Structure 1
Amino acid sequence: MSALDAKLAAALSSREQRQIRRRLPDPTSSSDSSSLIDFSSNDYLSFSSSPMLRDRFLSVLSEAPDILGSGGSRLLVNGQAHNQLEVRLAHFFGSPTALLFNSGFDANAGFFACIPQQEDVVVYDEYIHASVHDGVRASRAKNAQFSFSHNCIISLRKLLLRLIDERPSLVDGTCSLFLAVESLYSMDGTFAPLAEIVELFDRYFPRGNAHLVVDEAHATGIYGPQGRGRVAQLGLEDKVLARLHTFGKALAATGAVLLTNVLIRDYLLNYARPLIYTTSLSNANIIAASCSFDMLENGVAHNVTNHHRL
């Protein structure tokens, strides 16, 4: 066994002993589950098995001029379908602009790796998604990354007051603070106290240099008017710097959209490596996502949500 093999095997053995080793589910062990309730899936609206969505997707697909690969990075090819979906989603979510990513992971990692600048501070809920951690680690905000207790406004207030006391640049507005939360945390089903966070920002950062970034991955399609998420449900769109909505959970598609302002979108197009150095979503992916949003806009998702709640 080589040195590499020995180290990798030892790491996996350690996980095995702690009963945290990950494995793929056995595809041959599942039986007919039509009568079972699946608590492990994120197919919240059962769109992945929706005959209506399937028929809509196949109908649009059959008439589309391009259905296969996009042909390259968004910066290199004419992504007309991608542009059209971004315009549609910016309007749907009430955002100045929108930018597609291949996944929510890419969007979070890309945003937090390049938007926080030197001397800036990043604060995050201790339960925040791994993609935010990866982005923050790669950011310019070195030695300025702090967590607070999950959904605890008291913990957050104490942290913000300490940072204000230690960093005069936060007081005079010459540096920025970014706060990352998920509107709905999937592992325990808790909502972030978004309204209370906004109140803290208004009180302690009157210069407007504190910025809220909300991952709506698990709220997309379920909460808010026509499934627009918790931020829209609370009417806080103008208080949030960036919102992330993913297509791969309730919408049964692939990809994600980051809702933000024009300047940040332009900056991401120039510096977000997960966006620049990868082939963009295929045309079929774009069509699938668009069809899922048709379901949100025509009220089907709302009816499904009410049915599940009953």
Structure 2
Amino acid sequence: MTNQTQWETEIKAELEFLENIFQRRSIVTTKELNSSWLIRNGQKLLNLASNNYLGLLNDSRLKKAASKAIDKYGVGSGASRLMTGNHPLYDKVESRLIQWKRAEAALVLNSGYTANVGIISALMKRDDIVFSDKLNHASIIDGIVLSRAKLQRYRHRDTNHLEALLMKAPKDKRKLIVTDTVFSMDGDIADLEGIVRLKEKYNAMLMVDEAHASGVYGKGGQGYSHHVNLQDKVDIQVGTFSKALGSFGAYVVAKKWLIDYIINRMRGLIYSTALPPAVLATIEKAIEIVEEEREKRTLLLQHAEYFRNRLTRFGFDTCESESQIVPIIIGANSQTQSFATRLQEEGIAAIAVRPPTVPENKARIRFAITSAHQKKELDWALEKIIQVGKELEVI
């Protein structure tokens, strides 16, 4: 047997530790049948784990847009946007994005993670201060760490705590408040009105992540900021095309001078190969569909309310969810993993979410509802979830 190096021994021991506390993850190949069903490990499962909120992932119009772009332009972009990769389709998509979001300027980026990490680390520097909701997405936290700014975490959705932190901050320091609008693991929504009030009172910048709200909220699906008519009070709106819009990539909208600054300072833009033409073509088509087909949003939120209310009625803790993301809190990692395994055995794909994604002893099953689900499918799933909940003594 070959002697292991110290680093091999340490890493394997860490993997074993993760296994023992039910936090070791693995990648499982999944074949999507349609917007509601998939196949995993040879088993057909109702998909309650996807962020494909409007069922656009397999939409024939997006496929046609991608195919036409490939035929006309090829499959790659060849370079970063600042080299030779800024395809003319970027201009079309960003113009469409400005129109959709009613913004002054827009920038398409490679992913939501890239956007949050890159924008925060471009805007903030050592000795600046970032005020971040305790349950913000990991990409926001990583962006703050990379920026080397001082992190001030306020209690989840607690504007009183946020104000207490702002009051203590030196007036001469650059201050950024950043929050998700719809929180990805709890399904609840930020108090954007309260945050805007504090942003103005304490002369801070405000950045919101609309990843799980884009396509879902707002008259034209522009996001939660538009839903509450505060888009002009938000300095930086970030969102993704990879969830409700069924494509890939991310966006940021802001004042033109701020977008110009991001172009010049964001390393994730400067040093990343641009998106392929096919992706840009699907983004443009997806925005058009989302803006026009409002009934998809209405149906999605009706489905989510129905599903959430039924779970709550049977005694599940749905974590104050208000959106299409409906978690049920289980608690212990082992019991949560058992719950997810039992659901799969019953024909449901739903993910066990464990620390560090969520706090300790707050492991959960995260259900994601879509407009593509049929009510009879949701009823069938609810019956199975309630059955497993009783079996494992969760309810």
TM-score per shorter chain, which class?
0.7 to 0.9
Q: How does 1:160-175 map to 2 (within 5 A)?
A: 160-163=166-169, 167=170, 170=171, 174-175=172-173
How many angstroms apart in 2 are the aligned matches of 1:239 and 1:93?
13
The one-character-per-residue Cα deviations of 1:2-26 (angstroms, maximum 9, x if unpaired) are: 2221121111111111111111125
Q: Please state how far the C-alpha of 1:197 moved relative to its aligned partner.
A: 0.9
| Aligned twin of 1:261 | 255
Residue identity (%): 31
Aligned with 1:199: secondary structure? helix
**For the residues of structure 2 that align with 1:289 and 1:57, how far apart are their CA atoms?**
9
Q: Report 1 or 2 for greater relative contact order, CA contacts < 8 Å, sequence distance ≥ 6.
A: 1
Is residue 159 from structure 1 mapped to residue 159 from structure 2 by the alignment?
no
Partner of 1:292: 286
1:89·1:98 contact (CA, 8 Å) conserved in 2?
yes
1:307 is the counterpart of 2:307: no
**Alignment partners' CA distance in 1, 2:299 and 2:210:** 22
Matching residue within 186, 191, 194 for 1:193: 191
Aligned residue number for residue 156 of structure 2? 150
Does the 8 Å CA contact 2:62/2:285 hold for their aligned counterparts? yes
Choose the corresponding residue for 2:96, options 85, 88, 92: 88
Summarize the alignment of residues 49-64 of structure 1 with structure 2, pairs less than 5 Å apart. 49-55=58-64, 57-58=66-67, 60-61=68-69
Q: 1:124 aligns with which of 128, 132, 135?
A: 132
Q: Structure 1 residues 177 and 190, CA, compared in 2 at 3 Å: closer, same or farther?
A: same
Contact 1:114/1:140, CA 8 A, preserved across alignment:
no
Q: Is the 8 A contact 2:65 2:278 kept in 1?
A: no
Unaligned residue ranges in structure 1 (runs of 5+): none
Q: What is the TM-score when the length of structure 1 is the normalising length?
A: 0.88
How far does residue 80 in structure 1 lie from its aligned partner after superposition? 1.1
Match of 1:32 among 41, 44, 64: 44
Question: Which residue in 2 is equivalent to 1:68?
Answer: 75
Q: Distance in 1 between matches of 2:126 and 2:244?
A: 37
Residue 105 (structure 1) shift: 0.4
SS of corresponding position for 2:16: helix
- CA contact under 8 A between 2:18 and 2:24: conserved in structure 1? yes
What is the CA–CA distance in structure 2 between the aligned matches of 1:274 and 1:115, rounded to whole Å? 13
Task: Give me the whole-angstrom Cα distance separating, in 2, the residues matched to 1:254 and 1:127.
Answer: 24
Unpaired runs of 5+ in structure 2? 31-39, 304-395
Deviations 1:154-174 (A, max 9, x none): 2212222222xxx2xx1xxx3
Q: 1:108: how far off?
A: 0.4
Superposed CA offset, 1:56-80 (max 9, x none):
554x437x63142111000011421
1:115 to 117, 120, 123: 123
Corresponding residue SS for 1:76? helix
In the TM superposition, 1:179-190 aligns within 5 A as 179-190=177-188
Distance (whole Å) between structure 1 residues aligned to residue 168 and residue 205 of structure 2: 17
**TM-score w.r.t. structure 2 length?**
0.70
CA distance in 2, matches of 1:26, 1:277: 30
Q: Is the 8 A contact 1:183 1:214 kept in 2?
A: yes
Give the secondary structure class of the aligned counterpart of 1:98.
Answer: strand
